[in-house]
Amino acid sequence: MTRRYAALAASALLVATLAACATATPYQPNIRGQATSGGFSEVRLEADRFRVNFAGNSLTSRETVEGYLLYRAAELTVAQGYDWFAVVDRQTDRDARTYVEPDPFYRPWYGPSYNFWRPSWRYYGGGYGWRSWDPFFGDPFWGDRMDVRTVERFEASAEIVMHRGAKPQADTRAFDARA
């Protein structure tokens, strides 16, 4: 029975390790060299003013990045002894890169030049002269397949000013840090 539990524990550990390789950015500080890229950082501009950033990896949505940014701003506001904060300036950057590569698993004749015999016919086309006809030309099944993927990364930044007391109800850029 002990071997069975050891094997089960080892396989569970393997699955957990592999799952950690492909996860969205968790709520964490942005430290160089960590397992999952991205996270939050802040810079103090004045005693009650900060610039807060949150960078996500390619699996983190824009909504998550912006939500983590506001969460970090609220956390920072409470840590500094304030009650609410106002967003003075806010920006979300989108970095999108498109990769176009030939499908690595589809090479019908294994090579870029296809140096071998294949069916081909020539015919005389009236005013056009001699022309070639290839049964595979223009057929989507035999054409080169391409793998096209777009990778998006979002980074949100906001400049916040912290305040004490009651949050003004009419201000849409004000957030209660303790709520």
Specify the amino acid at residue 134. Answer: D
pLDDT for the residue 138: 52
Interior/surface letters 138-175, b for 16+ CB within 10 angstroms, e for the rest: eeeeeeeeeeeeeeebbbbbbbbbbbeeebeeeeeeeb
Extended strands (E) in 39-170: 39-46, 49-55, 84-102, 121-124, 130-133, 146-163
- Specify the pLDDT at position 140: 55
| Model pLDDT, residue 170 | 92
Tens-digit pLDDT profile for the chain (179 aa)? 587 777 677 676 666 555 555 788 899 999 888 878 899 999 999 999 999 999 999 999 999 999 999 999 999 999 999 999 999 999 999 999 999 887 666 555 555 555 555 566 677 777 777 776 665 555 555 556 677 889 999 999 999 999 999 999 999 999 999 98
Quote the pLDDT of residue 103: 66
pLDDT at 119 (0 to 100): 60
Picking from 108, 114, 100, 104, the residue whose alpha carbon sits closest to that of residue 139 is 108
Give pLDDT, residue 6.
73
Beta bridge partners of 153: 95
The residue with tokens 């002990």 is: 2
Backbone angles phi, psi at 174, to 5 degrees: -100, 140
3-class DSSP state for residue 109? coil
Element (H, E) at 78: helix 62-79
Q: What is the pLDDT of residue 146?
A: 72
Rounded CA-CA distance 63/121 in Å is 57
